[in-house]
Chains A and B, each alone.
Chain A
Amino acid sequence: MITKTLAAAALSVLAFAGMTASSAQAHGKIVASEPKAGAELRAGPRQIRLRFNETLERAFSKIVLVDASEVTIALPDITLDKSDPNVMIAEVPALKAGQYRVRWSVMTRDGHKTGGEFGFKVN
C-alpha cells in the first residue's frame, strides 16, 4: 500500500510538471518576418508581414514602425491574413533610406500578450 502511495506521489509530481509547463508555453512568439530581422533592402518594403506560432487577436495586436530618430511612421492598414490568422500584415508607405525598427505586440488566442522588436535597413 505504501509503495502504491509513493508511486502515486511520483506520478503526480510528473503530472503537475506537465500541466505547468503546458500553461507556461502559452506565449506567442514570432517565427518568420518579412523583412527579416537585420535585413538590408535596396528599396523599402511594401508590407511588413509577421508570422507567429499561435493564432492572433487583431483587436489587441499591433505593429509600430519607427525610424532611426524614433519617429513613428504611420502604418495605415494593419490586418490579419484572411487565410492564416497567425500572420499579421501592415501596409508600409514609401520609406527613405535609413535604419528602421519594427515593434510588435500581440495578443494570442489563449489570452497571452507578448511583444518584441527587430530592425532593418533601407539602402
Chain B
Amino acid sequence: MANTAQLATHVATVVLNLAVALAVGAAAASITLSRSDAPWAARQCSRLRFVCLAGLAAAMCASAWRLLFDAAAMAEVPVAQAGAAAWLMLTATHLGMAWTIGIGALALSLAAAGPGATQRRWPAPFILAALAVFLYTRSMVSHAASEGDFSAAMLADWLHLAMISLWLGEVVVAGAWVLTAPFGARGDDSSAAARYIASLSASATFALAAIVATGVFSAWHNLGSVSALTGNPYGAMLLIKVSLVGVAVLMGGYNRVFVMPSLLDNLSRNHQAAAAAQVRRFTVILRLESAVLLGVLILAAFVSATSPPGAA
C-alpha cells in the first residue's frame, strides 16, 4: 500500500514537471513566434496557447494530487482519509504555504491564457513570470531551502529548475507541435520558421549553460563525496539518468552542428523541398531528444526520493 502511494506520488511528480515544462516551452516559443506577421507563425501561436492551457491544467491537477498523497504519507493515513491532513498541511506547514503560492501562480497563468486572451497575442511573458513564481515554490520545498527561502542555494536551485523546464519544454513543443506544421510557400513563413529555429537553438544553449553553472554550484554546495555515487541502488539509478542526459545533450549538439546550418540556409533562400526534408530530420532528432529527456524526468522522480548512502 505504501509502495503504491509512493509510486502515485512519483507519477504525479513526473506529470507535474512535464506539464510545467510544456507550459514554459509553449509560452517561450510563442514569444518568438508572435514577433512575426507570417500566417504560419500566427497559427503556431494559436496552437501553442492551447498547449500551454493543457500544460497548466495538468500541472494544477498533478499539484493537487501530490498534496493529497503527501498529506496521507505525512499523517500515515490512507489517501481516502487524507482530507483533514491535507487541510492541516495547507494551514500549518511551510510546504502548505509554498503549495498555496504555487497553485495561485498556476491559476493566474491559466486565467491569463484562458478565454479572454486573443488567439495570437496571449500574455506569454506574464505566464512565464507566474511560472517562475511557481518554480520558486518548488525550490522552497527542496533541500536548497534548508538555509531559508532566500539564499544563494535557493537561487541556484530555482534557476536550475527553470532552465531544465525551458530546455525540455522547448524541445518537446518544437518536436511535437511547431515544426510538424507545414510552412506555406510564402517567404515570410520560411523566415519566421528560420528565426524560430535559431531562437530555439540559442535559448536551449543558454539554458544548458545556466543548468551547468547552477548544477556545478549545487554540487559544490550540497554533494558530500563522489564516492557516494557508486556501489548502491541510488548511485546506479543516478548513473543511468546522467547517461541519458549526456545522450540528450549529444542529440541537441548533433542538430545544432550538423542539421541546423544547412536548414537555416535553405529556409533563408526559401528552398521549400530541401528545407522540408531537413525540418523532418531536425524534428525526428528533437523527438528522440524529448523521449530521452522524459526518461530523465521519470528517473529523477525516483532518484530524488531515494536516500544516498549515509544521508538518512
Contact = CB atoms under 8 A, between A and B. Distances in A.
Interface of A: 1-2, 5-6, 8-29, 54-55, 57-60, 105, 107, 109-111, 113-114
Interface residues of B, number: 61
B311 A29 contact: yes
A54 B223 contact: no
Interface stretch (B109-117, B180-188, B213-221): B213-221
B308 A9 contact: no
A14 B246 CA distance: 10
A55 B157 CA distance: 19
Nearest to A21: B223
A15 B143 contact: no
Contacts of A17: 215, 219, 223, 229, 238, 242
Kindly list the 4 A-B residue pairs having the minimum CB-CB distance in the complex, ordered from nearest: A15-B215, A18-B219, A5-B253, A26-B143
A61 to B, nearest CB: 9
A2 B303 CA distance: 31
B308 A24 contact: yes
Contact of B215 (A5, A16, A26, A29): A16
Interface string B211-248: 11111111111111000110000100010011101100
Contacts of B208: 8, 12
Given A15-B211, A20-B241, A27 B312 contact: yes
B246 A109 contact: no
B264 interface: no
B244 to A, nearest CB: 9
Identify whether the interface residues of B are mostly helix, strand, loop, or mixed.
helix
Given A13-B245, A14-B215, A23 B142 contact: yes
Contact of A21 (B88, B212, B219, B257): B219
B249 A111 contact: no
Contacts of A14: 212, 215-216, 219
A19 B160 contact: yes
Contacts of A113: 73-74
Contacts of A19: 157, 160, 164, 215, 218-219
Contacts of B217: 18
B307 interface: yes
B253 A18 contact: no
Nearest to A57: B93
A8 B208 CA distance: 8
Contacts of A13: 242-243, 245-246, 249
Interface in B267-312: 296, 300, 303-308, 311-312
A64 B164 CA distance: 42
B250 A5 contact: yes
B257 A1 contact: yes
A5 B143 contact: no
Contacts of B243: 13
B256 A22 contact: no
5 contacts: A22-B223, A24-B306, A26-B142, A60-B88, A114-B312
B231 to A, nearest CB: 15
Given A5-B250, A8-B208, A110 B219 contact: no
B93 to A, nearest CB: 5
B145 to A, nearest CB: 6
Interface string B95-129: 10000000000000000000000000000000000
A18 B218 contact: yes
B241 A21 contact: no
Interface string B60-76: 00000000001001111
